[in-house]
Amino acid sequence: MANLISINLLAIFRDKVFHGILAIAVIFLLIPSISSLSMRQVTELSITLSLSLLSVILLLLSVSLGATSLWKDIERRYTYSVLSLPMERSAYLIGKFIAIALFLLLTALVLGAVTCLVVWLSSGIYPPERPILWSALILCVIFSALKYIVLIAYSFLFSTVSTSFFLPVFGTISVFMAGNATQQVYDYVHSPAAKALSPLLKHAASFFYYLLPNFSAFDLQINAIYAIPLSLKGVALPFIYFCIYTPLLIVVAAIIFARREMK
Amino acid sequence: MMPKAREQKYYITFLMLAACYSLVVIALADYMRNKPFLERLGYIPSVNTLKVFAADHKQLLSASLMLKVQIYFGGLIEKAENKLQVPADYPAMSRTIDAALKLDPYNMDGYYFAQAILAWDVGKPDLANTFLEYGMKYRTWDWQLPFFAGFNYAYFLKDYGKAAREYQRAAELSGNEMFINLAGRYMQRSGKTEMAITYLGMMAKSARQLSMKRTLLTRQTAFLQVLKIEKARDTFFQHYAKLPTSLDDLVHAGYLPVLPRDPYGGTFFIKNDGSIDSTSGFAFAAVKK
Amino acid sequence: MNVIEFTEITKVFRGKKGFIVNALKSMSLQVAKGEVFGFLGPNGAGKSTAIKILLGLIRSTAGSARIMGVDVNECSARLSVGYLPENPSFYDFLTGEEYLRFVGRSFGMDPSLLNSAGDRILRRLDLWEARKRPIRGYSKGMVQRLGLAQTLIHDPAVYILDEPMSGLDPIGRALVKEIIRELKELGKTVFFSTHITADVEAVCDRVGVINKGTLLTVDTVASILQRGVEGYVVQRFLPDGTTDRQLVPKSDLHTFIEQSIASRWSIERIEPKRKDIEAFFLDIVAVEQRHETQG
Ligand SMILES: Nc1ncnc2c1ncn2[C@@H]1O[C@H](COP(=O)(O)OP(=O)(O)O)[C@@H](O)[C@H]1O
Ligand SMILES: [Mg+2]
C-alpha cells in the first residue's frame, strides 16, 4: 500500500497540471493590496479572498486529480501492467485515493499557512475591530480540505463506472454544486414559503438532501472571517460525517471497480 | 476480480457504514437546521440563484458586489465635483447592497454604505434602518449599527424613543457612555446640527475609501456653515425677539461677516420655521427618489 | 501438477449494440512445469483474451483457470508470475529504474536484492544507459525490453508473455529468444503468444494453435516437425561420376532405395523434406476454415 501511495504521489508531483494550478497560488501575493480597498473590513476581506482562493485551488486540484487519475491509468493502459501485479484492485484504488487525499491535505496546509501570513500582514495594515480567531481560520482551511476529499471520493466513484472522463469531470462538478446547495434547497422546500409545492417534490428534496454530501456543514468561512467562535458540535458532527461518508463512497467504488473488466 | 468471500466482506462493510451514516446524517441535519446564523428564506429570487451559484464563495461574491457599488459611487462623486450632472441610480445601488447583504449578512461595508448613502443621499432613513436592524441580528457585537440606527431615528425620523433605545444598545456594546449623552441632546432642536457634525466626523474618521471620506467631510463642512448661520440666527432672535426673514438680514446686522458658501454649490436660505436649508438639498447629484 | 491450466474456458464479449464476440470457445489447455509453450494464432484468435483471463484482468464467462493450482480470481495466483502485456505501457513519469523498483516492491522483494537484480537486468536488456531517463522518452523497442525486464525482476517461476517479440528489431528478437532459452535452462515455465511461426520453431517445446477462439491442436514442436515430413531428397551417384538428386515421397522411399542399389547407384545423402511450421500452421487454419464454410 505504501508503495502504491508513494508512486501516486510521485505521479502528482511530476504532473504538469499540478504545476499550472499551483501557479495560481501566486495570486495570494495580491490579496493584501486588494483588501485595502475595503472601507471598513480590510482584515475580513483579506480572509475572505484568501479562503476563496484556497477553495478554488482545491476545487481545481480535486477535479483535475480525482476525476482524471483513474481514467488516465485506464486510457493509457497502465492498468494492464499495474493490476497484473499481485495486488487487490481495492488496494490499487484505495492507494490512489489516499495519495490524492494526502496531497490535497498537504496543499491545504501549505496554502493555509500562506493564508495566515497574508491575513497577518493585512491586519498589520489596518487592525481589525475584532481580534482574528486563528483557530477558526485554521479549522476552516482543514474543513475545506475535508470537503474536497469527499468530492475526490465522488470523482473516484464516477471513474469506476465510466470509461470516458466526461462523467467523472462533469459529475464531480455537479456534485460540488449540488452539495453546496442541498441545505438551502432543503430549507426552502420545508419553509412556509414553499407550501404550494407538491409533497412528492418535497420528499425528493429530502431524499437527495440525505443522499448527496452536505458541503454547507463544512463551511466555516463565516466563523473564520468574522471571528465567530465555533461550537464543539459544529466541528465534531461534520468531522464524524466526513469519517463515515468518505469510506462509504470508497467501498462502493471498490466494489464496482473489482467487477470491472480491463478490456 | 474478487472471490466470493472477499466480496461479501465489502458488502458487510458497506452496510455497516451505511447504518452509521444514517445516524450521523440525521444528527447533522438537525444541527444544520438549528444553526444560529443560518440564513432564513424569503429573499428575492435573483439573490437565491446567486447563492446557489456562489457555492462556498458567498462572502467573496458579496465583497465583490460591494466593491462594484463603491467604484460606481466613487465615479459619481468625481463627476459631481467636476460639476457634471449625472443622475445616480440609487435604486440599483440599494438593490446591489441588498443582494450583497443577503449573501453575506456580516459584511460591514454593506451596512456602512447603506447608512451613508440611503439615509442621506436617497433620503430613505427608514430603509437604511431596515438594513441596520437586519445586520444587528448577525453582527451582534457591533456598536456601530445601533449607533447609525439611533442617529436615523433621532435626526431624520424624529422618533426619540426608538433613538434612545438604539443609543442605549450602542452604549452597552461599546461600553461608551457618550452615546447616552448623545441621545439626550437630540431632544433639543438646536443640538441637531451639532450632532450631525459630530456624527459625520466620526464616520469620516473611520472611512477608508477616499471618495467616501471626501463625501462625509463635504457634508460636515456644509453643516459647519449651517451651524454658523444658526448661531447668528439665535443671537439675532435674542436681540430682536423675531426671526430674520432672510440670511442677508444677519449679514447686514453684523451677526455674520460674510454669507457662508454651500460646498454643494447651492444657496443657504432660512425657512419659515427658522430652520436653515440649502437649495442644493445637501447633495451633488439630482436625486431620483 | 500443471503450472498453467485452462478448463473449458469460454469468453463472450458483449458490445453496446447487442453484438457479441465469442472470443474463446470452451478452451482447455495445460502447461507443465519447465515447459516453454508457444501460443500460436493469427490476429484476433483469442490469445490475448486467454492471457488476460490468466492475469485476472478480465473474467471468464464460463470455465476456470489456475496458475500453480491457484484460481486466477485470487490475487495470490499472480505472486509467481511475470507478465508482459501486449504493446505494454508503463507509468511514463517514472524512469526505467524506478519502475523496476516499483514492480519489485509490489512483489515484496528485499531492497538489497532488488537493487542488485535491477542493475543486472537493466544491463542484460541493454537499458543501462537509459535507466535514469523517464519512460516517456523511451522508444517502442525500449519499452518492450523494459516490459521484459519487469517480468524478470522478481525471478518468478512462471512467465506469461503476450507477443514478446513484437515491436523489436532483429537484435531485440534474438535477445528475447536467448532469454527464453536461458529461462528454460533454469527450469522456468514460459507461456508466450505469437503470430509468427518462426518464433515458435526456435524456442518452444510445445505449441498450441488457436484460431477464432478454438484451440485447433496442441503438440510438441518435434512431433509437429515429424508430422510435417512430406518426403525425402535423395542424392546419389554412379561410379562414372554422374550425380542425381530426386524428391521421393515418404511412402516410396523404401522401394526407391532398393531400386537404386539394384541399378548400382550409391546413396550419398537422404534429407527429410518437410513443410515448415508456417505451412503447417496455414494448413490447420485452412482446414478449419473449410469446415466452417461447409458447415
Ligand atoms: N473488449 C473487447 N470487446 C469486444 N470484443 C473484443 C474485446 N477484446 C477482444 N475482442 C475480440 O475478441 C477476439 C480475440 O481478441 P484477442 O484475444 O485480442 O486476439 P489476439 O490477441 O489473438 O490477437 C477478437 O475477435 C476481438 O475482436
Ligand atoms: Mg493479442
Look at B1 and C73 and tell me if their CB atoms are within 8 Å: yes
Distance between CA atoms of residues C157 and B156, nearest Å: 95
pLDDT in tens, B156-175: 888 777 887 887 788 778 77
- Interchain pair B1, C71: CB under 8 A: no
For residue B79, name the pLDDT band (cuts at 50, 70, 90): low
User: Across all residues in chain A, what is the average pLDDT?
Assistant: 85
* Full residue range of the structural domain in which residue B10 is found: 1-34
Contact in structure between C285 and C210 (CB atoms under 8 Å): no
C-alpha C294 chain-centroid distance:
31
CB contact under 8 A, C76 and A76: no
The predicted pLDDT at position C169 comes to 86
Taking CA atoms, C85 is separated from B118, C109, C135, in Å, by 74, 21, 16
Q: Can you give the pLDDT at residue C91? A: 92
Spatial separation of the C-alpha atoms in residues A168 and B120, rounded to whole Å: 53
Q: Is the dihedral of CA C120, C123, C127, C133 positive or negative?
A: positive
B8 domain residue, yes or no: yes
Segment C216-236 shows an average pLDDT of 78
Between residues 82 and 111 of chain A, which touch chain C (CB distance below 8 Å)? Answer: 82-88
Domain total in chain B? 2
Single out the residue of C91, C89, C35 nearest to residue C218, CA to CA: C35
Pick from A222, A250, A252, A263 the residue to mutate for testing the B interface (most B CBs within 10 Å).
A222
* Interface contact A37, partner C, CB < 8 A: no
Residue B43: predicted pLDDT: 28
Ligand 1 near C87 CB (within 6 A): no
pLDDT top residue among C157 and A33: C157
- The size of the A-C interface in CB pairs under 8 A is 69
Q: Does B3 touch chain C (CB under 8 A)?
A: yes
pLDDT confidence tier of residue B36, bands split at 50, 70 and 90: very low
C81-90 pLDDT, tens digit per residue, is: 999 999 899 9
- Distance between CA atoms of residues C228 and C273, nearest Å: 9
A177 pLDDT exceeds 60? yes
| pLDDT number for residue B45 | 34
Check residue B37 and give its pLDDT. 32
* Higher pLDDT pick, C103 / B37: C103
Note whether residue B264 is domain-resident: yes
CA dihedral B82, B88, B94, B97 (to 10 degrees): -40
Ligand 1 centroid distance, CA of C147 (Å): 21
Scan residues 54-113 of B and list those with Cβ closer than 8 Å to A.
Answer: 55-60, 63, 66-67, 70, 106-109, 112-113
Ligand 1 site, residue C21, Cβ cutoff 6 A: yes
What number of C-beta contacts closer than 8 Å exist between B and C?
8
What is the number of the ligand 1 atom nearest to the C-alpha of C50?
17
- Which is higher by pLDDT, C246 or B82? C246
User: The whole model's pTM is what?
Assistant: 0.75
Grade residue C294 by pLDDT with cuts at 50, 70 and 90: low
Residue C161: name the closest of C293, C50, C42, C34 by CA.
Answer: C50
Q: Are A253 and C3 in contact (CB under 8 A)?
A: no
State whether residue B1 sits within 8 Å of chain C by CB.
yes
- One-letter amino acid at A120 equals W
Choose among C78, C87, C102: nearest Cβ to A84.
C78
Q: Which of B56, B112, B142 sits opposite A221 (nearest CB)?
A: B56
Q: Which atom of ligand 1 is nearest to the CA of C43?
A: 23
> In whole angstroms, what separates CA B134 from the centre of its chain?
12
DSSP C95: B
Question: Which range, A90-104, B49-63, B89-103, B169-183, has the best average confidence (pLDDT)?
Answer: A90-104
Average pLDDT over residues B241-265: 82
Q: Is the pLDDT of residue C108 over 60?
A: yes
Do C208 and C179 touch, CB atoms closer than 8 A? Answer: no
Cα–Cα distance, C114 to C154 (Å, whole number) = 8
The ipTM (two decimal places) reads: 0.84
For the CA of C46, the nearest atom of ligand 1: 17
Residue B5 has pLDDT above 80, yes or no: no
Q: Tell me, rounded to whole angstroms, the distance of Cα A211 from its chain centroid.
A: 17
For residue B236, is it within any domain? yes
Sequence-ordered list of residues with C-beta below 8 angstroms from that of C226, at least 6 positions apart, any chain = none
Residue C1: exposure state from Cβ atoms within 10 A (0-12, 13-18, ≥19): exposed
Residue range C92-103: mean pLDDT, rounded: 92
Give pLDDT, residue A143.
94
pLDDT for residue B44 is more than 50: no
First vs last C-alpha separation in chain B: 74
Chain C residues with CB-CB distance to A85 below 8 A:
78, 103, 106-107
CB pairs A-B closer than 8 Å: 144
B5-9, long-range: CB < 8 A, 24+ apart: B6/A88, B7/A255, B7/A258
Is B184 inside any structural domain? no
For CA atoms A79, A84, A86, A89, give the dihedral sign. Answer: positive
Task: Read off the pLDDT of residues A204-259 as tens digits, 9 standing for 90 and up.
Answer: 888 888 888 988 888 887 778 777 788 888 889 999 999 999 999 999 999 999 88
Question: Which atom of ligand 1 is found nearest the CA of C58?
Answer: 1
Which residues of chain B does C71 touch, with a Cβ-Cβ cutoff of 8 Å? Answer: 3
Single-letter amino acid code for the residue at C243: T
Q: What is the dihedral sign for C-alpha C276, C282, C285, C291? A: negative
Residue B248 domain-assigned (yes or no): yes
φ/ψ (deg, to 5) at B262: -80, 120
Q: What is the pLDDT of residue B1?
A: 46
Kindly give the distance from the C-alpha atom of residue C49 to the centroid of ligand 1, in angstroms, as a whole number.
6
- For the CA of C86, the closest atom of ligand 1 is 21
Distance separating alpha carbons of residues A213 and B210, to the nearest angstrom: 45
pLDDT band at B193 (very low <50, low <70, confident <90, very high): confident
Asked if B233 is an interface residue toward chain A (Cβ–Cβ < 8 A), one would say: no
Q: Is the CB of C11 under 6 A from ligand 1?
A: no
Half-sphere exposure of C287 (CA within 13 A, CB side): 9
Residues C16 and C23: beta-carbon distance below 8 Å: no
Stretch C18-30: mean pLDDT: 88
Amino acid B46: pLDDT: 55
CA distance A231 to B36: 11
| CB contact at 8 A, A221 and B56 | yes
| DSSP class of A26 | G
- What is the model's pLDDT at position B170? 83
Rank A126-140, B60-74, B80-94 by mean pLDDT and report only the highest.
Answer: A126-140
Spatial CA neighbour of B76 closest among B62, B94, B91, B89: B89
pLDDT in tens, B111-158: 888 888 788 777 888 888 888 988 888 888 888 888 888 888 888 888
Does the Cβ of C58 fall within 6 Å of ligand 1? no
pLDDT class for B86, splitting at 50, 70, 90? low
Indicate if the pLDDT at residue B6 is higher than 80. Answer: no
- pLDDT above 50: residue A105: yes
Any ligand 1 atom below 6 A from CB of C23: yes
Q: What is the DSSP letter of A231?
A: P
Please name the member of C57, C102, C106 whose beta carbon is closest to the beta carbon of A262. Answer: C57
Between residues C260 and C49, which one has the greater pLDDT? C49
Mean pLDDT over C140-156 rounds to: 92
> What share of chain B has pLDDT > 70, as a percent?
75
- Find the C200 Cα to ligand 1 centroid distance in Å: 22
pLDDT higher than 70, residue C292: no
The ligand minimizing its distance to the Cα of C11 is 1
Q: What is the predicted pLDDT for the residue at B288?
A: 35
Residue B242: inside a domain: yes
DSSP label of C146: H
Query: Could you tell me if A44 lies within 8 Å of chain B, comparing CB atoms?
Result: yes
Q: What's the gap in Å between the CA of B16 and the closest CA on chain C?
A: 25
Tell me, using a 6 A CB cutoff, whether residue C46 lines ligand 1. yes
Note whether residue B204 is domain-resident: yes
Distance from the Cα of A176 to chain B's closest Cα (Å) equals 8
Residues in chain B closer than 8 A to A144 (CB atoms): 56
Angstrom distances, CA of residue C58 to CA of A79, A230, A249, C10, C13 = 12, 51, 24, 12, 10
Q: Read off the pLDDT band of B48 (50, 70, 90).
A: low
Burial class from Cβ neighbours inside 10 Å (0-12, 13-18, 19+) for residue C249 reads exposed
pLDDT reading at C136 higher than 80: yes
Query: Is the pLDDT at C209 greater than 80, yes or no?
Result: yes
Query: C17 CB under 6 A from ligand 1?
Result: no
CB of B28 within 8 Å of any CB in chain A? yes
> What values do phi and psi take at C229, rounded to 5?
-70, 125
